[in-house]
Amino acid sequence: MKKANAADDAKAALKSQWNAASECLDEKSRRVLAASTAEALGCGGNQIVHETAGLSVKAISP
């Protein structure tokens, strides 16, 4: 059994938050939210948002 670490917990929380918010947003708003989230996460943020939100890295970039 794999032991969860802080990064896995953060990704799970981000995925849950993304799923709840994205239902209410149009495509442009989802991209803006993804880009701002990636920027807030800092280095590697685009990849993390890509993995959790399922958007392409190109769609996340501002």
The domain segmentation of the chain, as residue ranges, is: 27-62
The whole-number mean pLDDT for each consecutive block of 10 residues of the chain, a chain of 62 residues, reads: 72 88 90 91 90 89 75
Residue keyed to tokens 């896995």 = 8
* Angle CA 13–17–21, to nearest 5: 170
- CA 15 to each of CA 26, 59: distance values in angstroms, whole numbers, following the listed order: 18, 17
Residue keyed to tokens 């958007």 = 55
pLDDT at 4: 64
d(Cα 29, Cα 44) in Å, to the nearest integer? 21
pLDDT at 56: 92
pLDDT at 39: 92
